[in-house]
Amino acid sequence: MKGLMQDWPLTVMSIIDHANRFHAEREIVTRTVEGPIHRCTYSDIHLRARKCAQALQKLGMKQGDVIATMAWNTHRHMEAWYGIMGMGAVCHTLNPRLFAEQLTYIINHAEDQFIFFDTTFVPVIEAVADTLPNVKGFIILTDKEHMPETKLKNVYCYEEIVEAEDGNFEWADVDENDACGLCYTSGTTGNPKGVLYSHRSNVLHALAANGADAMGMRSVDTVLPVVPMFHANAWAIAFSAPASGAKIVMPGANMDGESIYELLSTERVTVTAAVPTVWLMLLGHLEANEVKLPDLTKVIIGGSAAPRSMIEAFERDYDVTVMHAWGMTEMSPMGTLGSFKAGMETLPFEEQLDIKVKQGRAIYTVEMKITDDDGNDLPSDGVAFGHLMVRGPAVAGGYLKGEGGNILDEDGWFDTGDVATLDPLGFMQITDRAKDVIKSGGEWISSIELENTAVGHPDVVEAAVIGILHPKWDERPLLIVIPKEGSGLTKESVLEYMDGKIAKWWMPDDVVFVDEIPHTATGKIQKLTLREQFKDYTLPTATAAE
């Protein structure tokens, strides 16, 4: 027997319609690429998204076309998202930090028709424009006054084409399973692969993200997404904030500690989200200037593991609740968040930190398990670690154009490429990415845990650990450290600090000091480059063992 409820398609347009109907006055505040702070409301975004959709139709765009954006988090970028998706097209977010060859590959593979971009990215787009035969034109996200000089052809000024329309536009009649968003994973091996979100997956994910134990956005909140809209679906914030009516503060191009502090403080932000490197800069700014953030209640940290010392600093020194989050582009992107379960609120602080360093519990709609190399399920005992497998309605079922072949096992599980433990209460902890884990004497050492222990040392700015070939143990860990300037940090001091905090046999065999640690386009430590850089490195223990 079928239910008798209304067939109401789950489209992302319904989210911005809701915001317009019930939170019309709530603000979207942007630090614009041009400089000044810009203020508008959900009602403005709703109107201008429809105008944008009209403008795209005038340019010949149709339902199912793919249209790209390369832009910072701004009100215009949000309008373009809803405009593109609202006319039934697919919004393809481009990461400006990718190499030119990768951009060319991605834009051509996706068959992007138009590219919206900020003035910042004129050189990036100019460098690849000749390699993009499908692209019909470029829309620069600025007004007439700020239109840059460019050698690009078929260039349009966003404000001009949008303001030429009246906004009298009905959203496209789409099926909830139609595609609306596209984001490529950085693809550390092989070509980048396209993850194609549907209206339904984005809506379900926004609802799950808004659960009180997840990001839990409320209408009274002011949220600052530092996480860029050009990577991993901006952790769903461009959907979950309007769904709840939260005010949004868009940081534009400036993500340094001072700029983020200024916005957090003046706009009285209550919830914010970013990768650990951003928080390192903010904490540095707070400490150096002896300032606090009295309105901030929740910081969401994900993308890479949040070090214990970072969680501790936010919670103890600034009275901010840290929510450790894990996910990936293929998961829309959130998988777990670390909110407490009953009884945990009253635990001693150190025990709470033990829980908070874990990546958290699966949000509703995410199923999760760990398996051994042969695909057998492993116990959720907090000790056994194995391949982290996931499934759910906002998890990729395949990549665009079938790249990578069948990515699910026979029961529909997707292998995340991460190695993790699951404890009996459901908390997951990432041991490593499968390809980064250090294999020593048949056992595995977590590079993440070593890195996060090392950064707890007050004179360590950043740390990376890679496996170095070893004649006796296969691999042993090498710790690579950026020391605090002028601290005179020594190898002995770092190792002494780590002693007792990790298993004895996990202790790095050597420590090297560097000025810089390479990062990927998505802000992760580039282990591949480090392994290349140190491929001829001989550990002191290696010669001793020979």
Q: Which residues contact ligand ADP (rule: CB under 6 A)?
A: 185-186, 232, 302-305, 324-329, 333, 359, 416-418, 430, 433, 520, 522, 524
Cα distance between residue 188 and residue 130, in whole Å: 26
Q: Which is nearer to ligand ADP, 235 or 473 (CB)?
A: 235
Q: How many CA atoms lie within 13 A of 336 on its CB side?
A: 28
Minimum distance of ligand ADP from residue 463's CB (angstroms): 14
Q: Is 377 helix (H, G, I), strand (E, B) or coil?
A: strand
2 is catalytic: no
Minimum CB separation of residue 45 from ligand ADP in Å reads 26
Rounded alpha-carbon distances, angstroms, from residue 518 to 201, 301, 480, 490, 513: 34, 20, 11, 22, 14
H helix runs in 164-303, sequence order: 199-209, 237-244, 257-266, 276-289
Spacing of C-alpha 508 from chain mean position: 29
| Distance of closest approach, residue 148 Cβ to ligand ADP, in angstroms | 29
Phi-psi region of 248 (alpha: psi -120 to 50; beta: other; left: phi over 0): beta
Which residue number, 69 or 185, has a Cβ lying nearer to ligand ADP? 185
Q: How far is the CB of 91 from ligand ADP (least distance, A)?
A: 17
From 294, 295, 258, 299, select the one nearest 276 (Cα to Cα): 299
Nearest residue to 467 via CA among 408, 503, 416, 508:
508
Nearer to ligand ADP, 244 or 452 (CB): 452
Q: Please identify which of the residues 292, 439, 484, 535 carries the catalytic annotation.
A: 439
Residue 15: is it exposed, middle or buried by C-beta count within 10 angstroms (0-12/13-18/19+)? buried
Residue the block writes with tokens 């492993």: 378
> Strands across the sheet with 298-301, in order?
37-41, 27-31, 247-250, 222-225, 271-274, 298-301, 321-327, 334-337, 361-362
Nearest approach in angstroms of CB 283 to ligand ADP is: 17
**Pairwise CA distance, residues 199 & 205, whole Å:** 10
Residues in Cβ contact with 460 at an 8 Å cutoff, skipping those fewer than 6 apart: 454, 481, 482, 483, 484, 489, 494
CB of 437 to ligand ADP, least distance (A): 11
User: Tokens 């134990």 label which residue?
Assistant: 213
Could you tell me the smallest distance in angstroms from the CB atom of residue 325 to ligand ADP? 6
- Helix H, strand E, coil C: the string for 181-197 is EEEECCCCCCCCCEEEE
Residue (43 or 186) nearer to ligand ADP, CB: 186
Tokens of 20: 């317009």
* Distance between CA atoms of residues 420 and 389, nearest Å: 10
Report the amino acid identity of residue 388.
L
Tell me the closest approach of the beta carbon of residue 481 to ligand ADP, in angstroms. Answer: 19
Distance from the Cα of residue 210 to its chain's centroid: 17
Q: 302 vs 467, which CB is nearer to ligand ADP?
A: 302
Tokens 């034109």 found at: 137
Does residue 444 have an active-site annotation?
Answer: yes
Give catalytic status of residue 185 as yes or no: yes
CA distance 478 to 381: 29
| Closer residue to ligand ADP, CB minimum distance, 91 or 390 | 390
Among residues 59 and 408, whose Cβ is nearest to ligand ADP? 408
8 A C-beta contact, residue 61 and residue 33 = no
Say what angle helices 447-454 and 491-498 make with each other, to 10 degrees: 110
In the complex with ligand ADP, which residue's Cβ is closer, 286 or 396? 396
Question: Are residues 254 and 205 in contact, defined by beta-carbon separation less than 8 angstroms?
Answer: no
Instruction: Say if CB 386 and CB 371 are below 8 A apart.
Output: yes
150 is known as an active-site residue: no
Task: Report, in Å, the least distance between residue 101 CB and ligand ADP.
Answer: 16
388 versus 542: smaller Cβ distance to ligand ADP = 388
Q: Which of 104, 150, 371, 444 is catalytic?
A: 444
CB nearer to ligand ADP: give 20 or 329.
329
Nearer to ligand ADP, 89 or 229 (CB): 229
Minimal distance in Å, beta carbon 251 to ligand ADP? 19
CB of 434 to ligand ADP, least distance (A): 9
Q: Which of 305, 415, 317 is nearest to 360 (CA)?
A: 305
Amino acid at 482: I
Catalytic-role residue among 79, 165, 312, 330: 330
Give the residue numbers annotated as catalytic, written as ranges.
Answer: 185, 330, 439, 444
